[in-house]
Amino acid sequence: MPEIIVKPKDALSESRQAIYQAVELSRRAAATMWEAIENIWDQKGTAREKRFKRLQAWCSGNSPDIEIFRKYLGVSNGKYLPGGPFLSYKELKKVRRKVGWLKNKLLQETLRFKIRNGDATAYNLWFLTRIVICPAFFDQTKIEKASTIIHELMHDYPIVHGKSIFNLKDYKKCFCCEEAVQFAIDQPCKARRCAYNYEFLAQEIMLAHAME
């Protein structure tokens, strides 16, 4: 596995271990998320049939993992109304690209962290080269820590909290789990560009697979 660099050099070994464990868990979560997407991607037929089957598997298939994806990333391009309109294939491909990117980032790239004081749990701006970890991070559960790392990594994609990456005000916006779920119903295209939606999605995937 690629290297995990934690700074400062004299950071407590306890803090270092907590970050390593969280990365390990987030790697498993991302691999499981990718597998779920690949399972619906693997369809037989003509190109047109494959597209249809993939969309159908996303919008109404009975895979428990995809059900969690639907909950946090939505099933439409606009406000969801029962009966449609449903997600476009272009939007589904974008989701696949993001999840694939996340998995590769976690499993193939060197990850850099810096522990420092601050009010946030952790933060990352698209122009930074490392994730900043603040004291509150260490009070989180293992699953929360892992999903926080996923949230911060998504800022590198770069996606923020539903709006433009150039809008710093948007960085300060916070969502709880229920708000992320509602966001996926009301503004699904934005929810798919919101790091909180991936954070809570990853949390639920980890819980569903009893990861710890």
Which spans of this chain sit near Zn ion (rule: CB under 5 A)? 195
Instruction: Pick the closer one to Zn ion by CB: 133 or 195.
Output: 195
Least distance CB 148 / Zn ion (angstroms): 9
Least distance CB 44 / Zn ion (angstroms): 39
Least distance CB 116 / Zn ion (angstroms): 17
State in Å, rounded, how far the first CA of the chain is from the last one: 19
SS3 at position 13: helix
Partner residues linked to 123 by β-bridges: 132
Instruction: Pick the closer one to Zn ion by CB: 76 or 124.
Output: 124
Instruction: Pick the closer one to Zn ion by CB: 199 or 204.
Output: 199
DSSP per-residue letters across 79-112 = S--TT-----HHHHHHHHHHHHHHHHHHHHS-EE
Least distance CB 170 / Zn ion (angstroms): 9
Instruction: Pick the closer one to Zn ion by CB: 195 or 206.
Output: 195
Longest dimension (CA), the chain: 58
